[in-house]
Amino acid sequence: MKIIVCVKQVPATNEVRMDPVTNTIIREGVESIINPFDTYALEEAIRLQERFGAEIATISMGIPSVSAVLRETVALGSSQACLLSDRAFAGADTLATAYALAKGIDKIGAFDLIICGKMATDGDTAQVGPMLAEELDIPHLTDISAIEECADGFLICRKQTDDGYARVKVALPALITVTKEINVPRLPSISGLLRGNDSEIPVYSVADVNADTSQTGLSGSPTQVVKTFVPTSTVSGEMLQGSNSEKAAALLQRLAAEKIVSE
């Protein structure tokens, strides 16, 4: 079984700053980490590797320093890690990101399963996984909180839904995106860290993966960020005073005044 895990490098903070001129994320001077959701994706791949002897490859698209994140994945158990990095990939929206990853995965070769995080903590769209599956013309399942069965060309997964869970069967090859409920990611061993530090991460350009530059980067992105801003809050909270019954009565009064409940 061959599993490919997509990992993204993200800023180690929730307070992402945007360049007001280019409307892109300011990555300079910000500590970077592996996208937290992707650590769960990698851990699930490692667990499948332990159960079924799977081979794991990791892939990322980003700036050259993303190699450090890929070395971490080697430290944990990936045997093949590669980085897509080229000026022609820069400024990609989610569709152009998915296209680039699909071209990189074509280069890696045949696979049974692709695992992505549920979303990236900076872009937050949760679009890349499903778009990547469409690019590769394979089925996908999102928000997976458990792989219950893996046998004979299919997976049975527990999928989180708006009102509970669903058990879903999907034929392989397929792509899944995983939630934090799926496992508890492990830390690398000392020997793993040494292996990761010593690993050479191949860097692929647009030409290396035969990508069509009309579909990569900023110029290949059908969506453009027109404006970014931090929303200002126009409502303020009010702490009700008194005993619990006084607070409940005051709350009822407010709700009745707003005609949310009748008196």
Ligand X SMILES: Cc1cc2nc3c(=O)[nH]c(=O)nc-3n(C[C@H](O)[C@H](O)[C@H](O)COP(=O)(O)OP(=O)(O)OC[C@H]3O[C@@H](n4cnc5c(N)ncnc54)[C@H](O)[C@@H]3O)c2cc1C
- Residue 199 Cβ vs ligand X, minimum distance, rounded to whole Å: 18
Task: Quote the CA–CA distance of 75 and 188 in Å, as a whole number.
Answer: 6
- Residue 37 Cβ vs ligand X, minimum distance, rounded to whole Å: 5
Alpha helices, DSSP H, located in the chain: 36-52, 67-76, 94-108, 128-136, 190-198, 244-257
- Residue 118 Cβ vs ligand X, minimum distance, rounded to whole Å: 7
Nearest residue to ligand X on Cβ basis: 123
- Residue 245 Cβ vs ligand X, minimum distance, rounded to whole Å: 46
Is residue 97 a contact partner of residue 58, using CB atoms and an 8 Å limit?
no
Closer residue to ligand X (CB): 13 or 24: 24
Closer residue to ligand X (CB): 30 or 126: 126
Closer residue to ligand X (CB): 37 or 204: 37
Using left for φ > 0, alpha for ψ between -120 and 50, and beta otherwise, residue 143 falls in left
- Residue 124 Cβ vs ligand X, minimum distance, rounded to whole Å: 5
Strand locations in the chain, DSSP E? 2-6, 9-11, 32-34, 55-61, 80-84, 113-117, 140-151, 154-161, 164-171, 174-178, 203-204
Closer residue to ligand X (CB): 29 or 237: 29
Task: Quote the CA–CA distance of 61 and 120 in Å, as a whole number.
Answer: 13
Structure tokens at 88: 């022609």
Closer residue to ligand X (CB): 54 or 175: 175
Chain-centre distance for alpha carbon 87:
22
- Give contact residues for ligand X (rule: CB under 6 A): 6-8, 24-25, 35, 37-38, 41, 60-62, 91-94, 97, 101, 116-117, 119-120, 122-129, 218, 223, 225
